[in-house]
Structure 1
Amino acid sequence: MGVEILIAGIIILLSLFSIRISKKLEIPLLIMFLLVGMLAGSEGIGRIYFDNALVAQNLGTIALMFIIFSGGLETKKEDVKKSLYPSGTLATLGVLLTAGLSGVAVYYLTDFTLKESLLFSAMVSSTDAAAVMSILGDSKLKKDIKSVVEIESGSNDPMAYALILFLLSFFKEGESTSIATGIIFLLKQITLGAIIGYIFGVVTLPLANYIKIVREEFLTIHLIAILFICFGLATVLDGNGFLAIYIAGIMIGNKKFNYKLNSIRNMRLITWFMQIGMFVMLGLLVFPSQLLGYIFIGSLLSVIMIIVIRMLVVYSLLWPFKFNYKEKFFISWAGLKGAVPIIFATMAITEGLPNAQGMFNLTFYIVVFSVLLQGMTLKYVGKKLNLFEEDQEEDKFIEIEELEELALKKMILDEQSEYVNKKIRELELPQGMLIVSIKRDENYITPKGDVILLMGDTLLFSQN
């Protein structure tokens, strides 16, 4: 056991070191993490043999849960309202059209059957939130465009997942499947997922208050518990778990609650750890020598699927919306693939499909092709199209949310707080704890001893 733990620690450290190389060579982080896994694999210098697709699928699903939920937590309600229709259209109809058109191309260019071609295309149909957000990051891309790209990439995985489950049913003996049952299945997945996500979005924070969670560490654990329960319940009831946790994440993240920024930061930390683990694991799972036979067909399909068909779908579906040709081109180019298609491809292996390994290898190649081509040029394309906003002078004042970055603690007083309607001098604060700021509505109040605290006040504490 000690050797395994030592190796795991070395792999994590190498992954962190690869971040420096990534920045210097301007190579997307996802590729570096995959490369670490491949180097540690059975055909690399690490000689670690790993071919358990079921383990990879299960661990990858858990990682995706954190990535999608965390993405929801950091999605602003205003952005959702503004970009709901274009993003929603691309995340639903876009996935269906991409899978259908790509399926035709795959059928005629490979030895896959029609069912296998459609299933493979569905696996590669969604864009990847982790890939998109890791590259765009804090870039100054125009907000309207960035919102569409990020919300689409965060919300189209559920649609792709539901489509894959439906197509897999065609491979199971004894199951009668038709277009009608498929439509019913997809509607059930989306409807149940949305309802369950909404319910958990409503009850999560009141439940935390009822339990009387008073530490940010426990609140983070509470969010993780909700994440698992929400996804698990939706899945058990045949709803879409990924959609449920995404909606719940958006609703929770747009509410005010104590330790909000620290909780989101903690979830972001877990998410990055999950991303490193997921990409390294997928790098371990692939056998590089097997990819050599897919260079020609993989490159051809990559161009057709991620460039030609992606642009055709985006330009067609965004026609009713007010985007110019430059913006549509960028949104098309931002359709990066990532870990999600690879994890979806492991489902073909665990289901024992005849061409499962071919699907997995081809998916892996297309993902690498996409990240290298689109990922390395995405910012350059945005700048050439003049879609990045000019640097603006930073505000000269510091918001309470930003002050929290200095390890200060924030508390929002609700009706149950023991501090409400008391003077500051009457409070029994822990030794060394000071109130350094009071925000009431949009005004800031100097925390003097005779100030009476009211419900709704936001207090900022400093611990000496």
Structure 2
Amino acid sequence: MTFDAHQLDQFLLLGSIVTLAAILAVRLSSRAGLPSLLIYLLMGVALGEAGVGIAFEDAAMAHAIGFGALALILAEGGISTKWSEIRPVIGLGASLATLGVVVSVAVMAVAGHFLLGLPWELAILLGAVCSPTDAAAVFSVLRVVPLPRRITGTLEAESGLNDAPTVVLVALISSGALAEDSIFEIAGIIVYELVAGVGIGLAVGFGGAWIMRRIALPSSGLYPLAILSLATGAYAVAAAAHASGFAAIYVAALVLGNTELPHRAATKSFTEGIGWMAQIGLFVMLGLLLSPGRITAQTVGFALVAGIVLTVVARPISVLVSSVVRPMPWRDLTFISWAGLRGAVPIVLTTIPLAEGVDDSQQLFDIVFIMVIVFTVVTGPTLPLLARVLHVARRSEPRDLDVEAAPLERIAADLLQVTISPVSRMHGVEVGELRLPQGASVALVIRDGESRVPERRTVLRRGDELLVVTPRRLRARTDERLREVSRGGRLAQWLGQDHDRGEPDD
């Protein structure tokens, strides 16, 4: 397929209009408490054969584009995830992404075969594609609900980790391996792909961080590009090694995002923008792939039955079984169970059997598409209310700082730009009371657009921006000390760094 100049102009015009409309739709969806993916999917349907008339039926291309977009979304998720938040619950997140997936697939497969009358292969595929949660769908809703870190960390870890095993499982089933290989061989392949993917992600992440700490690039805009390139490189290396690219890119991005690298805030903003673009393009494309003329009453009925089984049976059982590795209060587990939103991931996974030409895969795509839309509309808006009913909503925000770092080329030092948030306990603290490591100092305080050189008795206020110079060897200690004061105020030295983070640990 080739484009002439006129077609390219039309494509750019349509693309810009769709993108701007999708960006403006974010505000509408956030007010309604719905994930923006619903609007994007419906935009794709409106642009398709039933609306504007754009025909798109290339399942192989949809598969390739979908995987590329998911890789970028996982990279953004890994870079923006704080390891300190998911570390205490990484065991539960990993259990949900593995043991929980197995339980969910089994329950959905049995329901698909006996309740819907699907062949076993299609029933297992239904269970496999429906089992992973979607990070974009989950956190677009949870942004409006102040939750304890143990809950958000669990959901974030699960969403980042459960794509990898389900992709491998769906690919194996679609290729016919389920009929040719034993269950032990399939399990061995899955374990290898996950372990190798995680290993490659760790190697690329730590290796890339080591390199980035030792070079000073001529432009701050190059750092986000380099970080994203390293993460996507991990995906490519893993794919070449027949390992899980999704596990590799998420782990690499998680390592890079939690390493003290230059221009972290700029990198996070850049990857967040890339993640949004990937989501918009992905959801609109998936909407184009749907043909409303194929939707029958039977398709809707199957979608409703599958969604009910998934939401009220498979998901709660999988959460309960997975919690054996880290028991949590029943209120937390109930919320985690209801917050397991499905989004683009299940729909993208259905493009694998579509591309492989599996029998009745088109029916599977239609069932999953309808199920995702209906049950996202049902569960998404109810999450804030459920959080209040279960008393899991957090009353206070984390008293943390926004810290941006830039390397100083001629000396082994870093310049930290610190913004004091409205809820930070650094408000009212004198500069001398920060007690930074010897050799680090506050060089400048910017308040109301005016800069001033601070004295030891200068009192800090909400909204102030500080420029802190620290030797590179003291960078981590300086950063941690600033965060301690932000959380505990001038008494942080005696109260400890974990004082009053806004939530209990259990």
* TM-score under structure 1 length normalisation: 0.86
Instruction: Tell me the amino acid that sits aligned with residue 207 of structure 1.
Output: I
Q: Which residue number corresponds to residue 306 of structure 1?
A: 311
Within a 5 Å distance, the mapping from 1:110-125 to structure 2 comes to 110-125=116-131
Instruction: Specify the SS of the correspondent of 1:318.
Output: helix
Aligned counterpart for 2:159 among listed residues 139, 153, 158: 153
Percent of residue pairs identical: 26
Instruction: Specify the SS of the correspondent of 1:219.
Output: helix
Does structure 2 conserve the Cα–Cα contact (< 8 Å) formed by 1:234 and 1:241?
yes
Instruction: Tell me the amino acid that sits aligned with residue 392 of structure 2.
Output: L
Does structure 1 conserve the Cα–Cα contact (< 8 Å) formed by 2:97 and 2:162?
yes
Q: Which residue number corresponds to residue 12 of structure 1?
A: 19
The separation in 2 between residues aligned to 1:284 and 1:104, in whole angstroms, is 31
The separation in 2 between residues aligned to 1:217 and 1:439, in whole angstroms, is 33
Q: Which residue number corresponds to residue 431 of structure 1?
A: none
Q: Which residue number corresponds to residue 445 of structure 1?
A: 442
Say whether 1:3 aligns with 2:15: no
Aligned counterpart for 1:220 among listed residues 224, 238, 245: 224
Instruction: Tell me the amino acid that sits aligned with residue 261 of structure 1.
Output: A
The separation in 2 between residues aligned to 1:50 and 1:252, in whole angstroms, is 37
The separation in 2 between residues aligned to 1:138 and 1:71, in whole angstroms, is 18
The separation in 1 between residues aligned to 2:279 and 2:294, in whole angstroms, is 24
Cα shift readout 1:388-424 (whole Å, capped 9, x = no counterpart): 01135x86xx9461xx5xxxxx3245xxx413499xx
The separation in 1 between residues aligned to 2:413 and 2:313, in whole angstroms, is 64
Q: Which residue number corresponds to residue 40 of structure 1?
A: 47
Does structure 2 conserve the Cα–Cα contact (< 8 Å) formed by 1:107 and 1:113?
yes
In 2 relative to 1, CA 207–384 (structure 1 residues): closer, same or farther, beyond 3 Å?
same
Q: Which residue number corresponds to residue 498 of structure 2?
A: none
Within a 5 Å distance, the mapping from 1:142-291 to structure 2 comes to 142-170=148-176, 176-209=180-213, 212-291=216-295
Q: Which residue number corresponds to residue 130 of structure 1?
A: 136
Q: Which residue number corresponds to residue 418 of structure 1?
A: 410
The separation in 2 between residues aligned to 1:273 and 1:169, in whole angstroms, is 31
In 2 relative to 1, CA 400–444 (structure 1 residues): closer, same or farther, beyond 3 Å?
farther
Does structure 1 conserve the Cα–Cα contact (< 8 Å) formed by 2:441 and 2:469?
no
Q: Which moved more, 1:207-216 or 1:151-160?
A: 207-216
In 2 relative to 1, CA 452–353 (structure 1 residues): closer, same or farther, beyond 3 Å?
closer
Q: Which residue number corresponds to residue 354 of structure 1?
A: 359
Q: Which residue number corresponds to residue 501 of structure 2?
A: none
Instruction: Specify the SS of the correspondent of 1:166.
Output: helix
Number of residue pairs matched?
428
Instruction: Tell me the amino acid that sits aligned with residue 152 of structure 2.
Output: K
- Unpaired runs of 5+ residues, structure 2, are 1-7, 415-433, 445-452, 454-467, 480-506
The separation in 2 between residues aligned to 1:340 and 1:39, in whole angstroms, is 21
Q: Which residue number corresponds to residue 379 of structure 1?
A: 384
Instruction: Tell me the amino acid that sits aligned with residue 340 of structure 1.
Output: V
Does structure 1 conserve the Cα–Cα contact (< 8 Å) formed by 2:193 and 2:243?
yes
Cα deviation, residue 363, structure 1: 1.1
CA RMSD of aligned residues (A): 2.7
Say whether 1:106 aligns with 2:112: yes
Q: Which residue number corresponds to residue 34 of structure 2?
A: 27
The separation in 2 between residues aligned to 1:339 and 1:454, in whole angstroms, is 45
- Unpaired runs of 5+ residues, structure 1, are 405-409, 423-437
Cα shift readout 1:177-227 (whole Å, capped 9, x = no counterpart): 111211210111011101101101111123335564242221122123212
Say whether 1:296 aligns with 2:291: no
Q: Which moved more, 1:97-106 or 1:16-25?
A: 16-25
Cα deviation, residue 368, structure 1: 1.0
Q: Which residue number corresponds to residue 435 of structure 1?
A: none
The separation in 2 between residues aligned to 1:272 and 1:456, in whole angstroms, is 36
Instruction: Specify the SS of the correspondent of 1:216.
Output: coil
Cα shift readout 1:211-245 (whole Å, capped 9, x = no counterpart): 64242221122123212221011011111110011
Cα shift readout 1:116-168 (whole Å, capped 9, x = no counterpart): 21122101111111111111126311111111111111111111112112222
In 2 relative to 1, CA 191–359 (structure 1 residues): closer, same or farther, beyond 3 Å?
same
The separation in 2 between residues aligned to 1:328 and 1:120, in whole angstroms, is 24
Instruction: Specify the SS of the correspondent of 2:132.
Output: coil
The separation in 2 between residues aligned to 1:452 and 1:344, in whole angstroms, is 48
Q: Which moved more, 1:376-385 or 1:339-348?
A: 376-385
Q: Which residue number corresponds to residue 334 of structure 1?
A: 339
Instruction: Tell me the amino acid that sits aligned with residue 325 of structure 1.
Output: W
Does structure 2 conserve the Cα–Cα contact (< 8 Å) formed by 1:80 and 1:147?
yes
Instruction: Specify the SS of the correspondent of 1:445.
Output: strand
The separation in 2 between residues aligned to 1:452 and 1:106, in whole angstroms, is 61
Q: Which residue number corresponds to residue 432 of structure 1?
A: none
Does structure 2 conserve the Cα–Cα contact (< 8 Å) formed by 1:103 and 1:120?
yes
Does structure 1 conserve the Cα–Cα contact (< 8 Å) formed by 2:101 and 2:318?
no
Cα deviation, residue 457, structure 1: 6.2
Cα shift readout 1:372-398 (whole Å, capped 9, x = no counterpart): 111121222112111101135x86xx9
Cα deviation, residue 446, structure 1: 3.2
The separation in 2 between residues aligned to 1:363 and 1:84, in whole angstroms, is 29
Q: Which residue number corresponds to residue 429 of structure 1?
A: none
The separation in 1 between residues aligned to 2:30 and 2:402, in whole angstroms, is 31
Say whether 1:343 aligns with 2:348: yes
The separation in 1 between residues aligned to 2:283 and 2:234, in whole angstroms, is 25
Instruction: Tell me the amino acid that sits aligned with residue 19 of structure 1.
Output: V
In 2 relative to 1, CA 15–233 (structure 1 residues): closer, same or farther, beyond 3 Å?
same
Does structure 1 conserve the Cα–Cα contact (< 8 Å) formed by 2:200 and 2:234?
yes
Say whether 1:391 aligns with 2:386: no
The separation in 1 between residues aligned to 2:46 and 2:336, in whole angstroms, is 33
Instruction: Tell me the amino acid that sits aligned with residue 147 of structure 1.
Output: G
Instruction: Specify the SS of the correspondent of 2:286.
Output: helix
Instruction: Specify the SS of the correspondent of 2:175.
Output: helix
Does structure 2 conserve the Cα–Cα contact (< 8 Å) formed by 1:412 and 1:456?
no
Aligned counterpart for 1:73 among listed residues 79, 91, 99: 79
* TM-score under structure 2 length normalisation: 0.79
Instruction: Specify the SS of the correspondent of 2:327.
Output: coil
